[in-house]
Chains A and B, each alone.
Chain A
Amino acid sequence: MVGASQLALTGRFQTAEYDTDAELLAACRRREMGAFEQLYRAHAARLKSIAYHTAGNRQDAEDAVQETFLKVYRGIEGFHGQSSIGTWLCRICINVCYDLLRKRQIEAERAEPAPLPRNQLALRVQLEDALRRIHPRHRMVFLLFSVEGMRHAEIAAILEIPEGTSKAWLFEAKRELQRLLTETKR
């Protein structure tokens, strides 16, 4: 597996040109491709992972990331720096994923999930499976906090919820996951 930083070393990407968020934002507003490339390098890995866990597969995740960048390109004038660019990108990506889910009615299919296999799966696999079964809003907070390592303040900004709600949903997510993991064990 190759991360975004490793890809940068292969020379397929230009070197970083913009040192601050403000410079980067200004360059994005001028539609400089280098600026969008820098945004991609900095955030694509996290966006892909979030999109993967929301959309359910890599192809859809990549489509979602592409759509996210298109929306950013089209709507960059509407971003006034109320949050960091990363937070804004995440919010757009999550909305894109939810739109994708609505279109493909994946949520409807998930409403009645097949029972988990009873054989001993590795905890990582069990957890990934259980994560698909919990409430979408709890899943999103768990994903952003526990998987992607974001802070509750950032999550609150992305999901436009109070920080306390983010903490409460994380607790609910872990409780649901624990219940599902316990059921699998039995």
Chain B
Amino acid sequence: MIFQCADLERALRTAELMPDARRHAERCEQCREQLFQWNEISRVAPQLHEDWESDTLWPRIREALSAEPVRHQRPRTWRWALAIAAMVTLAVALLMPPRAANLGGPELLSDGALREVQQAEAAYARSIDKLAAVAQPGMEQSGSPLAAAYREKLVLLDSAIADLKKNVEENRYNAYLRTELASLYGEKQKTLREWMDYAKSK
């Protein structure tokens, strides 16, 4: 390869071109200087590590930690609640033959009621999506453990909602499944609101 000055930047990115760059720099003063400075930056960088005596820092931290109220972690009941709700939903969906939905009964919706429920559900889901669009970017960017917990909860909720929606599609007249779906949407809305309240208070 005939190495030219314009190739230097590419050589700095890819180690394979470096031997060619060095050979070229032996003859080219400008590239030699640039290459030297590039290496100098890496050589001097570790010297920028800043260390200083701070005798009072750990005692200060220890004092601050000792002053923290002891927090007992709230049991993550929502996880159990979700798991149980999902299992119950699945069991109901599996035990109830899909055609039974058209037979009528106390748990089943009429065609008119179904249309109204579907419209209300769609509006509710849209409003929660809008809420998520506002709340989630901040949550995604935050590296805090609390944000991670909320993210995890929302992933679980979304997954449970998706499963339940699938079941609802197969049992469209089943009022029980629709109630379960509404309660999951409600939980998602509550979670997003909690995060937004926390983010505002920060």
A residues lining the B interface (CB < 8 Å)? 1-3, 7, 12-13, 31, 33, 36-37, 40, 44-45, 48-49, 52-53, 58, 61-62, 65-66, 69-71, 73-79, 91-92, 94-95, 123-124, 127-128, 131, 142-143, 146-149, 160, 171, 174-175, 177-178, 181-182
Contact = CB atoms under 8 A, between A and B. Distances in A.
Chain B interface: which size bin? 35 or more
Interface in B127-162: 142-146, 148-149
B37 A181 contact: yes
Contact of A123 (B38, B40, B66, B142): B40
Contacts of B94: none
Contacts of A94: 143
Contact of A124 (B47, B53, B71, B73): B47
Contact of A131 (B48, B51, B62, B64): B48
**Interface SS of B by simple majority:** helix
Given A53-B50, A71-B145, A146-B45, 20 more contacts: A2-B53, A3-B51, A36-B62, A37-B62, A40-B58, A49-B49, A53-B48, A58-B52, A73-B68, A75-B144, A78-B146, A124-B47, A124-B48, A127-B41, A142-B45, A143-B48, A147-B49, A174-B41, A175-B9, A178-B38
Interface of B: 9, 12-13, 34, 37-38, 40-42, 44-55, 57-58, 60-62, 64-66, 68, 70-71, 73, 142-146, 148-149
B41 A147 contact: no
A124 B48 CA distance: 7
B57 A44 contact: yes
A146 B41 CA distance: 9
A147 B45 contact: yes
A123 B57 contact: no
Contacts of B145: 71, 75-79
Contacts, number: 119
B65 A44 contact: no
Contacts of B51: 1, 3, 45, 48-49
Contacts of B55: 7, 12
**Interface SS of A by simple majority:** helix
Contacts of B66: 33
Contacts of B40: 123
Nearest to A58: B52
24 contacts: A1-B51, A2-B53, A12-B58, A36-B61, A48-B57, A62-B57, A69-B65, A70-B64, A70-B65, A71-B145, A74-B68, A74-B71, A75-B146, A78-B146, A78-B148, A123-B44, A124-B47, A127-B44, A127-B45, A127-B48, A143-B48, A146-B45, A171-B13, A178-B38
A40 B45 CA distance: 24
A14 to B, nearest CB: 11
**Top 3 A-B pairs ranked by shortest CB distance?**
A78-B145, A75-B145, A146-B45
